Amino acid sequence: MKKIFIINGSQNFAHSGGKFNETVTDWTIEYLKSKNYEIKTTDIKQDFNLEEEVEKFAWADTIIYHTPVWWFQLPNLFKKYIDDVFTAGHNKGIYKSDGRSRVNPDINYGTGGQLHGRKYMLTTSWNAPATAFTLPGEFFEETSVDEGAMFGFHKMNKFVGMKKLDSFHFHDVEKGATAENIVIFEKNYKNHLEQLFKTL
């Protein structure tokens, strides 16, 4: 049985109540339970124990991150969660070193992770429409989410040894989250999960 660790990285802040990513997390749990996957979850808004979080990463075959994007980065509590948990995981299942040796410190950076064999998937939610990333002359200059704003996030996961699965990005969530669009979001996202997990 595949073991999946799902992290809801949303938080309450200003006009955001974190409800959309809670909904996406629920969709993920519903889909994976229907396929009899073993699931553990964390909501970073709730209290958590660092050692238990490290153990969840070490336990899982696949980690699924759900996060909104605020000011083109992770929300502050989610970033703090990552900083604290990954640091607590030093020599405890997440990473051993940066991979280099004193013999030749110029090579092998980023090869000291302990999560080899695991995979991860990222979902993000944006106020920005998808066209802001694809159309010439638009804000993100034809640079995708994964190659732009989330580039460092993907490198972080590679640093600890994980392999990237195809991401899923929700666009125009703030202005476009009508009842009709939520239905479309759910259908498209679950289709993504179906395609992804049938190959694992």
Q: What is the CATH number of domain 3-197?
A: 3.40.50.360
Q: What is the mean pLDDT of residues 101-125?
A: 96
* Nearest in space to 175 (alpha carbons), one of 141, 128, 137, 120: 128
Q: What is the mean pLDDT of residues 163-187?
A: 92
Q: Could you read off the pLDDT of 23-77 as tens digits, one per residue?
A: 999 999 999 999 999 999 999 999 999 999 999 999 999 999 999 999 999 999 9
Mean pLDDT of the residues in the chain: 94
Determine which helix (DSSP H) or strand (DSSP E) holds 174, and give its type and residue range.
helix 173-176
Q: What is the pTM of this model?
A: 0.95
76-88 helix and 50-59 helix, angle to the nearest 10 degrees: 80
Contacts of 174-177 spanning 24+ positions with Cβ under 8 A: 174/127, 175/127, 176/129, 177/20
Task: Give percent of the chain with pLDDT exceeding 90.
Answer: 90
Task: Give percent of the chain with pLDDT exceeding 70.
Answer: 96
Q: Tell me the backbone φ, ψ of residue 102, rounded to 5 degrees.
A: -70, -20
Determine the Cα–Cα distance for residues 163 and 73; give it in Å rounded to an integer. Answer: 21
